[in-house]
Structure 1
Amino acid sequence: MSHSRDRYACQINDEGYCIFTGSPHQTGLKPGTEQIINANGEFLFWSHEALASDASGNVLEARGKPTSDGDELMKSSQENLTDDEKVFHRVMAIMYPIRNALMYDIAELTQIQWDTLLEELTKRKIKETTFTEGDTPRDNYYGRQGIFELAKDPDGQDIHHEVMRFLEESSLYLLCHTTSEDFNEMLKETHPEGHDPCCGAGIEEKIGF
C-alpha cells in the first residue's frame, strides 16, 4: 500500500459521505475544453500556459508522485518544457477536478458530471473494472464506476485508501498513455514500491492528447 495514502483520512459526515481532510484544488481543466477554470467555473487562463505547482508555488517536477494537498495550476510559459513535461502538467490539470469530486464534492456529484470529468480516462479504457473479492483489501481495486458508487455510499466506512488508490493509479496510467517510452521507464525506476505502473496499466495502444 502506498505510504502517500496514509497521509489522508476521510470522515463520515451527517449525510453519510466520507469527506476528506485538507482542501480542494481551486483550479483545474474544464472537461472538453482548453480552459483552466477556478472553483466557481470562471475562466482563468489557457491550458497551454498552465503549470502545476505545490503549496509553496514551486513548479512540480514531472514525475509519478501523487497529487498533494495545496497543489494548484498557475499561469506561466511552457516554452522551455519538453513534450513529456507539457503532458505532465496537462494530466495534473485533468486530475485536480476528479480528485475534488471524489474527496470533497461527492454529495453534489451526479453521474453525468462524473462521466464528463472522466472522458480522458474513458477514451483510454483506464480503470475499467472493479474487483472486491481479494484475500486482503490490498488485493481489491475499483474502476471508474465502482469508485463512484463506493464514494456515493461508503456504508459508514473510511474509504480513503480506495479513493487514493484510484486517483494515484488513474494519474499514473494517464501519464503512461500520453508520455514517451523514456518517461514510462522513469516512472518504473522511481516508483516507491518498485512497480512498473505502465505495465499495470494494461495498455494495448497508446492514445496521446
Structure 2
Amino acid sequence: MKAILTLLIINSLILISCGNNTTIEEDLLSSPPSNERRGRPQDNYECQISSSGHCIFTGDPHKTILKPGTDKILDREDQYLFSMEGAVALNSSGNILNASGRPAFDGDYLGYDPEHKEGLSSDAKAFHRVMATMFSIRNALMYDIAAITQTEWDILINELAIREVKNSTYTDGPTPRDNYYGRQGIFDLAKNPQGRNIHHEVMKFLEESGIFLLCHVTSDDFGQMLKDTHPEGHDPCQVAEITSKVPF
C-alpha cells in the first residue's frame, strides 16, 4: 500500500511538471517577439510633463542632424560638420546601419565615411538620408518641442509634406491603437498634450513617417524587402498608399 501511494505521488508530480512545461512553451510561442528578437533596440522611451506643460522624452537627442533643405550636417549648436554626400547613419555603438525598415533610435547619429557611402546602392543611400531627415523631426517632437515654432516645424517636415506622408489625423478609433496623427495633428498634440503621456502617439507617428518616406524614395524591390522582413508581416508601402513615388 505504501509503495502504491509513493507511485501515485511521483506520477502526480510528473503530471504537474509536464503541465507547467507545456504552459511555458505555449507562452513563449504565443508571446509577440521582443524588439531585441527583431534585431531592434528595446523601446524604453517615456515622456515626462515639464514645467512648460510639454511631454519631454527621456534619453538623449541625436547629436548630429541634417539641416532641412540642404546637404549640411550640423551638431546641436548648429555648427557645420560635413556634407550629407559622405554621411552615414550609425547606431550608439558606432556601427553603420544596414538599409532596412528599422526606425531611428536613441543614440543613433550621423558620421562621415565617404568611402563607405560611395560603395552603397542607391536604395541604401536613400535609407541614410531618410534616417538623417527623421533625426531632425525626432529631436523636435521628443526633446525640443517647447522651442519649436510652427514655421520651423513646417520646414522640418517638408520632405514628408511634398510626398503627402501622414496627411491626416484620425482619433475616433475604438481604442488608442486605432488612432493616428498627421503632420499637423502630432505637432498640435505635442505642443499641448494636456498633461498626458503621449509616448505612444509620438512614436507611432515617427515610425510610420520614416518607413512611408522610405517607401517613396527607394525601389520596388526594396519595398518588397520591407514587406518580407516586417516583424508583423505587414506591407508598409501598401499601407502608405503611394500613387506616385517622389525620390530625393
TM superposition score normalised by structure 2: 0.82
Between the two structures, name the one with larger relative contact order (CA 8 Å, sep ≥ 6).
1
Instruction: Tell me which structure has the larger Cα radius of gyration.
Output: 2
Q: Could you tell me which amino acid in structure 1 is paired with residue 74 of structure 2?
A: I
Report the counterpart of residue 155 of structure 2 in structure 1: 116
Report the counterpart of residue 218 of structure 2 in structure 1: 179
Structure-to-structure mapping, 1:1-209, within 5 angstroms: 6-77=43-114, 78-209=117-248
> CA 1:3–1:147 in 2, change beyond 3 Å: closer, same or farther?
farther
For 1:159 and 1:205, locate their aligned partners in 2 and report how far apart those are by CA, in whole Å. 32
Q: Could you tell me which amino acid in structure 2 is paired with residue 65 of structure 1?
A: R
What is the Cα deviation at residue 7 of structure 1?
2.4
* Aligned structure 1 segments of 4 or more residues deviating by more than 6 angstroms: none
SS state of the match for residue 56, structure 2?
strand
What is the Cα deviation at residue 79 of structure 1?
1.2
| Structure 1 gaps, min length 5 | none
| Structure 2 gaps, min length 5 | 1-31, 36-41
How large is the RMSD of aligned CA atoms in angstroms?
Answer: 1.5
> CA 1:135–1:149 in 2, change beyond 3 Å: closer, same or farther?
same
What is the Cα deviation at residue 2 of structure 1?
10
What is the Cα deviation at residue 6 of structure 1?
4.7
> CA 1:2–1:90 in 2, change beyond 3 Å: closer, same or farther?
farther
For 1:101 and 1:191, locate their aligned partners in 2 and report how far apart those are by CA, in whole Å. 27
TM superposition score normalised by structure 1: 0.97
What is the Cα deviation at residue 189 of structure 1?
1.0
What is the Cα deviation at residue 3 of structure 1?
6.4
What is the Cα deviation at residue 113 of structure 1?
0.3
- Count of aligned positions: 209
Normalized per residue, the structure richer in helix is: 2
For 2:194 and 2:232, locate their aligned partners in 1 and report how far apart those are by CA, in whole Å. 30
Q: Could you tell me which amino acid in structure 2 is paired with residue 116 of structure 1?
A: I
Q: Could you tell me which amino acid in structure 2 is paired with residue 81 of structure 1?
A: L
Percentage of pairs with the same residue: 58
Q: Could you tell me which amino acid in structure 2 is paired with residue 14 of structure 1?
A: S
What is the Cα deviation at residue 165 of structure 1?
0.4
